[in-house]
A and B are shown apart, each in its own frame.
Chain A
Amino acid sequence: MKKLLLTFAVFLWAGLQIALAQSRPVRGQVLDENGEGVPGASVQVKGTTSGTITDVDGNFSLDVPDDATTLVITAIGYGSQEVNAGDGDNALAVNLTTTSTALSETIITALGIRRSEKSLGYSAQKVGTDQLENARANNVVDALAGKVAGVRVNSQSGGVGGSSKIIIRGSSSLSGSSQPLFVIDGVPISNSSQASTSSGLSVDYGNRAGDINPDDIETMTVLKGPAATAQYGSLAKDGAIIITTKRGTKNSPLSISINSSFRVDNILLLPSLQSEYAQGIYGIYNLRYANGWGPKISEMKNTKVPDYLGRSVTLQAYPDNAKNFFQTGNTWMNDIAVSGGDEKNDYRIGFGALNSKGIVLNQTLKRYNLSANIGHRFSDKVSSRFTFNYANSDANGRPVQSSNNPSVLTSSVYSIPVTVDVEDLKKNYQDEFGVQNNLTTDKTGNNPFWILNKNLNGNKLDRFYGSAYLDYTPTDWLTVSNNFGYDIYNEDRLAVVRQGTAGDLKGSYAAVSLFQQRFNNDLMITGQKNLNDDWNLKVMVGNNILDRKLSTDQVIASGLYQDSLFRPANAETAQPLQAQSQSRLVSLYGEISASYKDMLYLTVTGRNDWSSALVYTGNYSYFYPSITGSFVFTELMDRNSILSFGKVRASYAQVGSDTDPYSTLPYFNPVASYFLQYSLPGQFPFNGQGAFSAQRVLPEGNLKPQLAGSFEIGTDLRFFNERVNLDVTYYNTKTRNQIINLDVPLSTGYFAKQINAGQITNQGIEAILNIAALRPASRNGFAWNILANIAHNKQTVDELDGTLEYYAVQSGWSGLQIKAPVGGSFALYGTKWRRSPDGQFVINPNTGLREVDNDKYLGDINPDFMLGINNRFSYKGFSLGFLIDIRQGGVFFSGTVANLRASGMAEETAEYRDGSFIDKGVNQLADGSYQPNETPVQSMQDFWAHYSSAASTEGSVFDASFVKLREVTLSYAFPQNYTPFKNVIKGLEIGLEARNLWLIKSFVPHVDPELSYFGSGSAGDGVEFNSFPSTKSYGVNLKVKL
């Protein structure tokens, strides 16, 4: 750490030297044909990367090196122009003329290769700083929501630092993760969201991409399919997110930028609860139940009953309990970066701090990021770049989700009886001796404030990642480069249950230490030559070595002797688990690309992998190719103002991938514990003896690598001088030989068997429409830009193992399953209401309750389409943007809704309690005919218990469509002349920002339809069980450039 600070100081000093000694200031204004200022024009010192951007009035000021003579001015929609830099005494005036330039924007593609956008044979979408710096998300993954066509983002929970899952072009995988590869500055980093193996604990510990500081990101490019990612091989079978971090500008003085945000977070959606009925059973007050099935409060006016503390009270409703339970959370995000450079060096050092407080007590996240990006040119032929990132995070109070654990929070919050005052409960969660005051007399009737104050789950992380890059250009056409990358982290998790917790009176804890290490090395030799004026040829060969090590060291201990001490020696039983794994992938790859004029581009690639995980199979080495092409057809047309640019592109690619290490051979595992329900400790040695277990997954000795083949065709059309840009892509990806662990009947002895199975097709259409609806006619003009993206994906399971009709993607709760049926897509299955031939509910004539049928299709979990519409208005220095995110189609199962109803807490359960209720439907008679149902339900408690029970899935399944106002930003950039302390402050922008602001339309009652039980490590989706509620946030943002 000391060393780092020292380095930091040295660079600061160096930067100041550059600023003081070697440059002169130049200022000026860039004007259009009408003499109006052109905002956002780039002003660059020729021959360097040093430069600036004009402000809203077209003004710029720039420190240029003493020996610089020429500035290059460029702006979108205008030609580029070179002007004399002058001596700095007089302001420059630069006049630009409109042209229709074929776009010359570049994009970072696989292996960090920068290409011009027009040469791409596949769709790749870039998200720039401007889209990331405003309304910043804590987790970079969230920042992509609604911004990229074909990309779907799901947060697992609203808890601070919760994990976010990203799906590009639908799930291609039957099991496990379909997460894209994250590549930072050429280094593939881990985005794991490793689940703890501790039994019964479902805690969302976040995904590792959440360690990245969004403020360090210059651009994110989303590579969506195999065509784009073939060169990354196996890891990127589900796409890749290529992140380039910010770096300093050569030949520019030291500059300091500060970006500060403060935000408050509130629960997005509170459930609507009834406030008429107390706790109890069938209308009778009973302290055993935390629910709303007791007597009507208004009818208990003259009765005294004991409350949870044994006090004799008259019942009274506290209708704002749920609201009062949650607090206002807040988040500070502070970033400071120092950057600059001279002729040989550039540097940027950034420091970011994120401090977040959740919407419930004791939920905190602290994250600190330190980053350095330093480039150095040794000579004309040799240059280097070094990047370094350190992330430290410390989260506490992470919520436990799902069920069967004494610390599950959501279900206990939403079942606080309306007659119990939350404020009172909060004050009295323990007595004067520290003994819990239970909420109910049930064996698991924990006071939720006991859970919040005592049973905390936290994790601490230290992570280093970065790269060392060196390139050597012996001649002008040949480059040899090597990029070594590393990503090392250690994460310590601790989940505790304190003594006195109902359900685990003696207390327990699970401590997990996870270590992950990745080394990645790419060696590339690239030759590029213009064969003649028209033809350019580029040949590249490379070698990649990726080595991954993982280790887990965990202790699950129960029966603590001394409260609050979480060490194995303090526990009656402590089960240790240690596991280590290593895998290595060695690859050779090559690429040949040719281009003809600025019109035709063709690229062929090939990659051969050798995977350690497959070394014992006959398929240790495997090869996969790709071919992509692009044709700018407008080059053949006369320049016209209607279609200013047009290209078509096509590609075909394959990506192979391997499996987990050690999974292809049979083994026997030593076991430290035997299973006992209700989380009781069962430990080996038993009576002094150990035990072994046969493998639970049957390995396939001749496992083949999984292969994804993708065909993609698209077009990029720009009309009316690029005022209207349309990019459309059709793709068809077939994933074959999927390596899955197929659930087998337990009567085989195994839980699952490893197979190469099936084929899944994902095909779809993506369109991106960018409209400059109003272009500023003058410098003070009003501009309106619309960026819309829409994506439709259709997933089909073409084949499994030949015998099976479906594959259970996720299962394990009362008949509710996510299945992949042959001929269909991933769908929710469960019990469905039985219906008569004319579609009426069949009702049991004895009970008045609906009959159910097991194992029925309840709906597709995937949306029909996703639509994101981003509007941006600007006027002078003001800028207003808002992003609307729309999902259409798919179904969603909410366990929270089921609980709210079954416990008589939901608003709708208050109806009909006084009278009788006859469910609308028919009874089936013995002869098979139907007659209208006239049997009333015995009680509404029975009705809702049945309606929302685990055995009646359909009652809690809803349409997952929604319309959300995802982001709103309003900012004002001060014109330079009006900036306070303008000699010091070179840029000042203030803004208001809001995220996840408004659920405009939803079909799910009580909860956010975007909640998810499944983290990014699972192929499951569309199901929520007591998930922590999601939040909305709004705040202010201040950006200062010094």
Chain B
Amino acid sequence: MKKIFYISLAILSLSSCKKTMERINTNPNASENASPGLLFSNAAVNLGGLRAGGDMYASLILAAQTISSGGDAGWGKANVYDISIYSTGNAWKTYYSSTGFNLKEAIRIAEETTPVQSGAAAQCKILLAEAMYETTVIWGDIPYTEAWQAKTIPYPKFDRQEDVLNSLLALLDEALGQLDDPDANSTAITAQDYFYSGNLDNWRALANSLKFRILMLMVDKDPSKATAIQQLVSNGGMISDAEQDFMLPFNEKAGNQNPKYALLSQYAGGANIFFFANTTVLNPMKAQNDPRIPYYFDKPDTIPDYIGVLTEETANPDVTASISMLLYRPDAPEVIFSYQEQLFLEAEAYARGLTPGGMSLADEKYKQALTAACNYYGVDSLSREAFLASKSLLTVTDPVAEIHLQQWIDLMDRPIEAFTNWRRSGPDGSEVPNLSLPLGAPAGPLMRRWIYPLAEEISPNVNAPKEGQQVYDKMWFDL
């Protein structure tokens, strides 16, 4: 009897001991749960921060040659293809972890909840498709189908770019399907939806537009995509209003400011002394008396005209025009997809005969696009109409090239899209505009990609391509 008493006493004390230990090992710093909205919030803001920040904006925009560093006067050496491995690594980290993985977890949680939070799941999928689109246009072949399955797939394989893009089309279709779910509206992310505040019609339009942009990227290499393009254009339902611009709003509050402004604020007291007008953009604008020039650029008061420099030409701050503080204002939004971008793509589809409608419809879209672009910067209607009066696709010898040039000008401050659009704007040597190797860049062809990050992916992944790459290696879509 006594024995039993002692044994049970021992067991009791041990089990209570275990309870104490469980209490001790309860994490006071983190939660076992998180709502899809809170994870979406992290994903969205990190994506916007990357696009507008020092890793992506400041390095890619100089290498893409829409903006000049002004040689020794400006920011960094990315224009001569000296791109920091920290930048490539941080970008990869954002796409796969801060943005990608948080969206994947949000989708998992949304779909495991009863009833399924189909609205939230769809929003997350659309943003994920955008993030992975950016990843593949920067690096080409990337892990996608086997990504984010750490428990079962420790070393994701790299999918071919064509397969990634097709998978993203499928992901967007999946999201569109979920948006049709009757519960979608009631289960949408609203508070943390910085883009559309839970307006699922806008998300539906965005999903279609993203599909359109992907198809337009693919169609040169895979002409069979023309069918899908035709279908999308004729069905409509894409972004059709400037109100639907897909952009992350920054605000005046420190810590929420546009990173471009924050950079200037921290390093230059809030003035732009690093980024200058590149002749590749400014000169064609001047040639067409573009009313957007004073919105794009600031010039010294003493100089009558806007003067640009070549990509790595030394700027003279007393003479050279710089990128405007309007673009670099603290509350400038980070635009990811714009109405004018949509219209230019539609104009291109008509002009190239990818979808029936002919050049007159193309011209109509082209003018709408220019109107939207002028409106975006607040160009007054008088100047805008005067400018538009001089613009017509019907009078130029190469309407498609004209559209590409206008896309180049429109995308000046959006390096990923500008760089991608330039690469798809024509076969090697015939891109619009015709760029040359920046002074001081290593001898060889122009840059066409980023190098995979070694420490973040290539080294730890046994299935990663191990052979070295060059910045001028082309990817699948790039002819």
Contact = CB atoms under 8 A, between A and B. Distances in A.
Nearest to A504: B266
Contact of A610 (B21, B87, B259, B459): B21
A677 B153 CA distance: 30
Contacts of B26: 662
A612 B33 CA distance: 22
Interface string A609-629: 011110110001000000000
Interface string A819-843: 0000000000000000000000000
A580 B27 CA distance: 8
Contacts of B454: 815, 854-855
B227 interface: no
B90 A443 contact: no
A416 B168 CA distance: 53
B151 A667 contact: no
Contacts of B192: 689, 691
Given A745-B456, A804-B462, 14 more contacts: A443-B268, A573-B255, A584-B21, A586-B21, A616-B25, A662-B29, A673-B255, A675-B50, A676-B259, A681-B254, A689-B191, A696-B97, A749-B97, A817-B459
Contact of B459 (A573, A613, A680, A855): A855
A852 B47 CA distance: 34
Contacts of A690: 38, 41
A612 B102 contact: no
29 contacts: A286-B72, A573-B255, A579-B29, A661-B24, A661-B25, A665-B32, A666-B32, A670-B31, A676-B259, A678-B263, A678-B266, A681-B255, A681-B262, A682-B262, A686-B41, A686-B194, A687-B249, A690-B41, A693-B42, A694-B101, A694-B102, A743-B459, A744-B460, A748-B96, A749-B100, A749-B105, A750-B97, A803-B154, A808-B459
A610 B41 CA distance: 40
Given A668-B30, A668-B31, A687 B256 contact: yes
Top 6 nearest A-B pairs by Cβ distance? A683-B255, A749-B101, A572-B254, A677-B54, A745-B461, A667-B30
A692 interface: yes
A803 B153 CA distance: 12
B25 A746 contact: no
Nearest to A743: B460
A674 interface: yes
A275 to B, nearest CB: 25
Contacts of B263: 678, 680
Interface stretch (B140-148, B209-217, B287-295, B388-396): B140-148
B268 A692 contact: no
Contacts of A584: 20-21, 24
A612 B19 CA distance: 10
Interface in A435-488: 443-444
A677 B100 contact: no
A575 B254 CA distance: 11
Contact of B149 (A559, A748, A855): A748
B17 interface: yes
Most interface-central of A286, A586, A662, A803 (chain B CB within 10 A): A662
Interface string B250-287: 01001110010011011111000010000000000000
Interface string B71-85: 010010000000001
Interface residues of A, number: 86
B339 interface: no
A811 interface: yes
Interface in A644-666: 661-662, 665-666
A676 B24 contact: no
Given A615-B22, A680-B266, A749-B97, A691 B460 contact: no
A692 B38 contact: yes
A579 B28 CA distance: 8
A532 interface: no
B239 to A, nearest CB: 22
Interface in A589-644: 610-613, 615-616, 620
A146 B142 CA distance: 51
Interface of A: 281, 286, 288, 404, 443-444, 502-506, 558-559, 572-573, 575, 578-584, 586, 610-613, 615-616, 620, 661-662, 665-671, 673-684, 686-687, 689-696, 698, 743-751, 753, 803-805, 808, 811-812, 814-815, 817, 846, 854-855, 950
A814 B218 CA distance: 34
A580 B147 contact: no
Contact of B90 (A573, A675, A814): A675
A929 B376 CA distance: 60
A613 B96 CA distance: 29
B431 interface: no
Contacts of A559: 254, 265
A166 B194 CA distance: 51
Interface in B427-458: 443, 454-457
B97 A443 contact: no
A510 B255 CA distance: 16
Nearest to B41: A691
Contacts of B155: 745, 803
Interface residues of B, number: 86
Contacts of B18: 610, 615, 620
Nearest to A582: B24
B471 interface: no
A797 to B, nearest CB: 16
Contacts of A950: 85
A36 B344 CA distance: 107
B401 interface: no
B66 to A, nearest CB: 20
B415 interface: no
B474 to A, nearest CB: 21
B348 interface: no
B443 to A, nearest CB: 7
A554 to B, nearest CB: 13
Given A677-B53, A680-B54, A745 B457 contact: yes
B33 A753 contact: no
A941 B266 CA distance: 31
Nearest to B106: A694
Interface in B33-55: 33-35, 38-39, 41-42, 45-46, 49-50, 53-55
A698 B153 CA distance: 13
Contacts of B38: 668, 690-692
B25 A615 contact: yes
A748 B150 contact: yes
A620 B17 CA distance: 12
Contacts of A817: 455, 459
B476 interface: no
B98 interface: yes
Contacts of A613: 25
Contact of B32 (A288, A668, A691, A745): A668
B459 to A, nearest CB: 6
B151 A698 contact: yes
Interface in B49-75: 49-50, 53-55, 58, 72, 75
Given A559-B254, A691-B42, A751-B97, A744 B30 contact: no
Contact of B142 (A286, A661, A681, A747): A747
Contact of A750 (B101, B191, B267, B464): B101
A506 B267 CA distance: 9
A675 B46 contact: yes
Nearest to B191: A689
B92 interface: yes
A578 B29 CA distance: 8
Nearest to B269: A505
B93 interface: yes
Contact of A583 (B24, B42, B150): B24
Given A680-B259, A682-B255, A443 B274 contact: yes
Interface in B183-227: 191-192, 194
Contacts of B147: 747-749
Nearest to A749: B101
Interface string B121-163: 0000000000000000000001100111111011110000000
